[in-house]
Copies of this chain bind each other. A is one copy, B any other.
């Protein structure tokens, strides 16, 4: 994994700033012969697109993707475009680059944002909309994830928002179909209703709130992953932690495991007819020793509240003076909502990468 590249065999390199001419990615390592049209990618991008409800930023970006390379079709493929095994470059042009006054964030560091850290590292930063540190970069991830899904067709990947601020879902009411019916990707209709009022209050206060997202992959064959540093869970942890505003990641029972006794935690097995053990529980979240067991892979992560809020905060300026700052503009009151399709994309990329490693039965990358 390198600074702007994710994955090894299925390798995604993203580029672009929030307010630059374009953002996008190069997907290297996609196997040949997979059907891939721009619409396949667009469908995923549309799920993440801002401005779809009053609960996400009102920035209006069509996020139209263009495939620049790596696919080919002719009459032999009946007009369908197939991947060719060469790099797939995807580009999304930025269209809603409001020319606004950036003087405040140019000179002051927004608390909770990467402003000071970038300045300390590089001595220069593109402050317009947060530049490279903006969650806008995740559009490129979602585009790459749409390609990744093609690589692992038998695997179902779904994510949901399971906690918003103090409000957690009731797991007994979990219904995946529900996630498409409310603007929160929430799998519990009653919780979704509660989120609505709650988030309206947050929004009106000019504040923001954190969230927990759960992403589940079903149909993963046993054997994906590797010892010791190529563990599937280690790669998932890095993948999720690399999403903007994420502060914690867990697999299976996660932090709750700390309070468990050995006999409660280890998933027992019984013989089954399909040649694989039937596990009697899934505390492990589908991964043991860094390798998938065939059970559903369950990963959860915490997203901190959006740092851009309308409440004035104390900060310092670039030249070291005390200041106050209010981050105006069009912000997500709960950035965790739009992290849901991003989580699916990252899960898809990690699994595509490990699937290719396992297919070649390779012990190194």
User: Judging by beta carbons under 8 Å apart, are A306 and B364 in contact?
Assistant: no
A1 within 8 A of B: yes
- A359 surroundings in chain B (CB, below 8 A): 360-361
- Interface segment out of the listed A29-37, A46-54, A173-181, A185-193: A29-37
Out of B13, B166, B241, which one reaches A237, CB within 8 Å? B241
User: Judging by beta carbons under 8 Å apart, are A314 and B255 in contact?
Assistant: no
Out of B31, B163, B229, B314, which one reaches A3, CB within 8 Å? B229
Q: How many residues of A contact B (CB 8 A)?
A: 163
**Per-position contact with B for A1-12: 1 when CB-CB < 8 Å, else 0?**
111111111110
Of the candidates A91, A250, A262, A283, the one having the most CB atoms from chain B within 10 angstroms of its own CB is A262
User: Judging by beta carbons under 8 Å apart, are B261 and A209 in contact?
Assistant: yes
Of the candidates A163, A255, A258, A315, the one having the most CB atoms from chain B within 10 angstroms of its own CB is A258
> How far, in Å, is A217 (CB) from chain B's closest CB?
16
A154 within 8 A of B: no
User: Judging by beta carbons under 8 Å apart, are B69 and A285 in contact?
Assistant: no
- A361 surroundings in chain B (CB, below 8 A): 31-32, 85, 122, 356, 359-360
User: Judging by beta carbons under 8 Å apart, are B241 and A4 in contact?
Assistant: no
User: Judging by beta carbons under 8 Å apart, are A117 and B69 in contact?
Assistant: no
Q: A21-B66, A210-B259, A288-B116 are in contact. Are A11 and B16 (CB under 8 A)?
A: no
Q: A69-B20, A84-B131, A212-B255 are in contact. Are A231 and B227 (CB under 8 A)?
A: no
User: Judging by beta carbons under 8 Å apart, are A229 and B131 in contact?
Assistant: no
How many copies of this chain are found per oligomer?
Answer: 4
User: Judging by beta carbons under 8 Å apart, are B24 and A304 in contact?
Assistant: no
A171 within 8 A of B: no
A59 within 8 A of B: no
- A276 surroundings in chain B (CB, below 8 A): 120
Which A residues from 69 to 107 make CB contacts under 8 A with B? 69-70, 72, 74, 77, 82, 84-89, 91, 106
User: Judging by beta carbons under 8 Å apart, are A123 and B305 in contact?
Assistant: no
Q: A249-B248, A255-B247, A259-B210 are in contact. Are A15 and B269 (CB under 8 A)?
A: no
User: Judging by beta carbons under 8 Å apart, are B261 and A363 in contact?
Assistant: no
Out of B260, B277, B304, B306, which one reaches A304, CB within 8 Å? B260
> How far, in Å, is A105 (CB) from chain B's closest CB?
12
- A207 surroundings in chain B (CB, below 8 A): 261-263
Question: What 8 A-B pairs have minimum CB-CB distances, sorted nearest first?
Answer: A360-B360, A114-B289, A112-B266, A29-B364, A248-B250, A3-B230, A117-B291, A208-B262
- A218 surroundings in chain B (CB, below 8 A): none
